[in-house]
Amino acid sequence: MQSLELIENWPVPTAAAAVVRADGTVAGTRGPTAHRFALASVTKPLAAYAALVAYEEGAVELDEPAGPEGSTVRHLLAHTSGLAFDEHQVMAAPGTRRLYSNAGFEVLGDHIAKATDIPFADYLRQAVLEPLGMTSTALAGGGSPAKDGVSTVDDLVRFAAEVQAPRLLDPRTVAMAMSVTHPGLKGVLPGYGHQNPNDWGLGFEIRDGKAPHWTGASSSPRTFGHFGQAGTFLWIDPDAGAACVALTDRAFGPWAVEVWPALTDAVLAEL
């Protein structure tokens, strides 16, 4: 895909990208797709997928208590537990605000580890990474399920193909994860300011009508995915029948706000 050539002009030391269609075929790649990058918050969709495997296995229920009083596994996945961004401090009653929370995903990881009697990094590997052949992906040092993932474009292509045509999960579970959980809640989308509403599914951010946004002007409202402060993103656009992964080694900033939407629009125009 010629559109992926745009990453060659990004102001970053290293960048790699790929597009994968809903049928699993790779439409194009660019850059060192086997290079391992820090994912930052693109770790969260992987962690969420592991949590959904735990749900389907019966290890946890989405509406069982987890986190602050009144919070559930579902609240933690949807950033509505009330926990602060990076502190284990309650800032709101569960279900009343969309407070994007690394702490919430860390509580989620601990909860699943206790429920399965398996350290979360190992559970993620056994439940998601190994079955998908994601051999270059891991939680670095067994770290935070919110932000400590490392991976490659090649591996995330496998994950994006799975989400579009699920084999590890019932497609109905994935459809639930990409649907708005606790609709109508306001909140801050990190890097892009207040959004009303600030819609999320279960571990996936949903584009809907958010503006500004890190995807493209031509992205469908049903587009979902995640971006990370390491200069990384993964989006899946069901209306386009494709997903795009882009990984870099430069921290998110104004450069990304400028170039990411242009890449997305160019990819969508070429599909």
pLDDT of residue 140: 85
Is residue 254 helix, strand or coil? helix
Q: In one letter, which amino acid is 118? A: I
Q: Indicate the pLDDT class of residue 109, thresholds 50, 70 and 90.
A: very high
The three state secondary structure string of 19-50 is: EEECCCCEEEEECCCCCCEEEECCHHHHHHHH
Q: What is the pLDDT of residues 183-228, one digit of tens each?
A: 999 999 999 999 999 999 999 999 999 999 999 999 999 999 999 9
Q: b vs e for 34-47, b when ≥16 Cβ sit within 10 Å of the residue's Cβ?
A: ebbbbbbbbbbbbb
* Closest-CA residue to 43 (of 233, 235, 175): 233
Domain residues for the domain of 231 are 2-270
Tokens of 230: 């390491």
Residue 183: its pLDDT value, please?
Answer: 96
For 169-195, give the DSSP string: S-HHHHHHHTSPSSTT--EEETTTEEE
The pLDDT tens digits of the residues spanning 124-142 come to: 999 999 999 999 999 988 8
Mean pLDDT confidence for 247-251: 98
- Give how far Cα 184 sits from Cα of 79, 117, 156, 165, 222, Å: 13, 36, 30, 28, 16
pTM here is 0.97
The 10s digit of each residue's pLDDT in 186-198 is 999 999 999 999 9
Count CB-CB contacts under 10 A for residue 69: 9
List the CATH number of the domain containing 183: 3.40.710.10
**What token pair was written down for 153?**
């474009």
Tally of domains in the chain: 1
